[in-house]
Amino acid sequence: GAGVSQTPSNKVTEKGKYVELRCDPISGHTALYWYRQSLGQGPEFLIYFQGTGAADDSGLPNDRFFAVRPEGSVSTLKIQRTERGDSAVYLCASSRNDRGDTEAFFGQGTRLTVV
Amino acid sequence: AQSVTQLGSHVSVSEGALVLLRCNYSSSVPPYLFWYVQYPNQGLQLLLKYTTGATLVKGINGFEAEFKKSETSFHLTKPSAHMSDAAEYFCAVSRWGNQFYFGTGTSLTVIP
């Protein structure tokens, strides 16, 4: 596609439920990043993939959070036993590589609300 | 370790006035530096970046930033603010094989 696509754009779930957030990166981009943005804050790093493997998952807050990218393209962020504190906008970005000097292209995010 | 500090969570300027948004970074190695803009209900969009070479970097929409290693700064400027510049601005730092670290953002208001 032309840009990074995230689905759904909005998700409301009940506390304790399981959710999956999907990210379709720009075709050919090998690096994929997940960030979380709370109101009034900058994006907070969660995890990034280089190809199919998680190159750095140090930002995942706890073991309720997990992400996969099985074929090196689409990625899914999975949150188990959701809590109200998980409410935020989850951003996905992709870039041609993970050299660090390459622009990351961001999706519009998924707004997760846990009630 | 890397981090980014943006001084001033809210900045207001009059239309036509100079825009100055401040960003300081800390990094153990020479970093790559970025400014992103986020308009309401939109994704983050790259304004400009510094990787190597000329320290004064020009970006889109008339914005520019200067990398000053001695001051560990990468402030964003625009000579004349336009109403359409009202948005949230984020400074970010990265380096080879690493993720992006973002500042907490500066909300720019342009007063007519």
Q: Residue B94 — pLDDT band, cuts 50, 70, 90? A: confident
The percent of residues in chain B predicted with pLDDT above 90, rounded, is 73
Q: Residue A67 — pLDDT band, cuts 50, 70, 90? A: very high
Model confidence over A26-41: pLDDT tens digits? Answer: 999 999 999 999 988 8
Q: What is the pLDDT of residue A85?
A: 96
Mean pLDDT of A104-111: 94
Q: Which of A74-78, B17-21, B64-68, B92-96 has the lowest mean pLDDT?
A: B92-96
Burial of B35 (0-12, 13-18, 19+ CB in 10 A): buried
Q: What is the pLDDT of residue A114?
A: 98
Best of A101, A106, A110 to disrupt the B interface (most B CBs within 10 Å) is A101
Q: What is the pLDDT of residue B1?
A: 63
Q: What is the pLDDT of residue B107?
A: 96
The tokens of A77 are what? 């962020």
Smallest Cβ–Cβ distance between A42 and the set B32, B51, B90 belongs to B90
Q: What is the pLDDT of residue A2?
A: 79
Q: Residue B41 — pLDDT band, cuts 50, 70, 90? A: confident
Q: Report yes or no: A112 at the B interface, CB cutoff 8 Å.
A: no
> CA of A46 to nearest chain B CA: how many angstroms apart?
10
CA nearest to A32 within chain B:
B99
Interface contact B102-A4, CB threshold 8 A:
no
- Mean predicted lDDT score pLDDT of chain B: 91
Q: What is the pLDDT of residue A100?
A: 77
- Whether the per-residue pLDDT at A21 is higher than 80: the answer is yes
DSSP chain A: --S-EEE-SEEEE-TT--EEEEEE--TT--EEEEEEE-TTS--EEEEEEETTEEEE-TT--STTEEEE-TTSS-EEEEE-S--GGG-EEEEEEEES-SSSSSPPEE---EEEEE-
Residues of B in contact with A54 (CB under 8 A): none
Q: Is B9 within 8 Å of B68 (Cβ atoms)? A: no
Q: What is the pLDDT of residue B51?
A: 87
- Mean predicted lDDT score pLDDT of chain A: 94
> CA of A112 to nearest chain B CA: how many angstroms apart?
14
Model confidence over B44-89: pLDDT tens digits? Answer: 999 999 988 889 999 999 999 999 989 999 999 999 999 999 999 9
Can you name the residues that pair with A89 across neighbouring β-strands?
A37, A111
Q: Which of A32-36, A51-55, B93-97 has the lowest mean pLDDT?
A: B93-97
- Whether the per-residue pLDDT at B28 is higher than 80: the answer is no
- Whether the per-residue pLDDT at A1 is higher than 60: the answer is no
Interface contact A103-B46, CB threshold 8 A:
yes
